[in-house]
Structure 1
């Protein structure tokens, strides 16, 4: 709104108490002379970005159309991406709520690693009994005791308190614990008949949703590396490590309130990852 518009809206101009009537500038069309509001810089960037992507997509789609030799043939098609769908049916069985029964190949190893990353980053890991059940389901039997001892040393009363939980890992009344891991993609770095090393790029949420929470839900990016072994007809974890990133530049979205975040976690279930 311009200075003149503000004055008109207040019922007077220049302190005289008189009003002015703005006549349309567009002839017979009363909207022809209307002034347009200025778009924000963010909208302009978004539009430009969409146009650039559209031009790039058209150029890519038309590339080689003038050359018959560039037509899609088996030898000219690009290689399948590491996380492309395989067309196989997802696994049907579950143990402790975790999908099991993967195929004995690289595709099955990647599906297993993705689902195991979800389990290891879940809120159930803060409960000793549930954590041990998860480890029994996804770790090779010979390493279960080692994993239990290591994680018991990690999930201490002091750690739980730092997260905002009670010392026993339970959630304080009036709050919702948010702990989720979402795989973005997987990559096999080493493989043999019964072994595979898989990296899982993930985004994670962790914190307490609730009014006056001193540990609000935050987002992180990290990569999990798992060495898997084919054991008892399924892929199991032998070793597990984690490093930060790759992380994108944070966006400028408005942070959701505690009630909205808690409601989202309660209403939106997780996914089963399978190729």
Structure 2
């Protein structure tokens, strides 16, 4: 059992169980105000190989046709990682200290929570880069089984993880803060509290982009001059009380995703 308590389900080698909680009623765009969130309104309650994969399983189980156009014609700008300086942000080579471990954990959450994880080749590259060699070898096969063509189809994606023409697939993690649970010279345990975005934005999407709040805990090992993940786990929350913000329509969400590239350096 993890020292974090019985709510943590630690993963060693890509195994684990998935628990899915479906939302009540349809979740649609169109400017309706979001009701207060109760446990039954949570997007997912899940534990598995990769946090956003598991959230996606709940997303797929909601059913419905995720195809359809966004209603915006013409060429669309390509979303790209944000780099205000014009220089590619750091993705590896973090400092060999406690702050470096926290930075590594925050950025690894961003990488592992991105849409690239839904493409086999890019997923393998990410896993090889972020995990220890032993952990990567254990995880690849279970991940490939989980990201099957059938599973991607339930999400409304093709075999390469692409959304239907005219719609936008969104999968992002947005770190809010980090906490060192344990630190030693050659190992560290760091928790990342984050908000997740997951869904397909389009005027006919029945699974619009929704938010979830999770805590992702990484067991890190100092290997070959960098922090690498040897195991990880996740649990729900802490979840803030939702505000009274009006939900944006699908065009606004698609435009925001295209114009605001996700951060590849989080801390």
Q: TM-score range by the shorter chain?
A: 0.5 to 0.7
Match of 1:14 in 2: none
Per the alignment, residue 262 of structure 2 pairs with: 270
Report the counterpart of residue 161 of structure 1 in structure 2.
153
What is aligned with 1:68?
A: none
Q: CA–CA distance in 1 between the matches of 2:151 and 2:217? A: 23
> After superposition, where does 1:112-261 map in structure 2 within 5 Å?
112-261=104-253
Q: What residue ranges of structure 1 are gaps of 5+ in the alignment? A: 1-92
Residues in 1 aligned to 2:162 and 2:249: alpha-carbon distance in whole angstroms: 22
Q: Do residues 100 (structure 1) and 110 (structure 2) align?
A: no
SS of aligned partner of 1:228: strand
TM-score, with length taken from structure 1: 0.63
Measured in 1, the distance between the counterparts of 2:233 and 2:151 equals 19
| 2: CA distance, partners of 1:251 / 1:164 | 29
Rg comparison, structure with higher value = 1
Mapped to 2, the partners of 1:172 and 1:98 lie a distance apart of 32
Distance 2:207 2:233 in 1: 25
SS in 2 for 1:100: coil
Between the aligned partners of 1:168 and 1:269, the Cα distance in structure 2 is 21
Tell me how far 1:137 sits from its aligned partner.
1.0
Larger relative contact order, structure 1 or 2 (CA cutoff 8 Å, min sep 6): 2
Contact map agreement 1:176 1:208 (CA 8 A) in 2:
yes
**SS at the partner of 2:91?**
strand
Q: Give the direction of change, closer, same or farther, for the CA distance of 1:98–1:156 in structure 2 (3 Å limit).
A: farther
Deviations 1:235-272 (A, max 9, x none): 00000111111111111211111111111111112221
CA RMSD of aligned residues (A): 1.8
Distance in 2 between residues matched to 1:188 and 1:150, nearest whole Å: 29
Aligned residue number for residue 59 of structure 1: none
Q: Name stretches of at least 5 consecutive residues in structure 2 with no aligned partner.
A: 1-86
Secondary structure of the residue aligned to 1:180 is strand
User: Normalising by structure 2, what TM-score?
Assistant: 0.64
Shift of 1:168: 4.3
- Number of residues paired by the alignment? 181
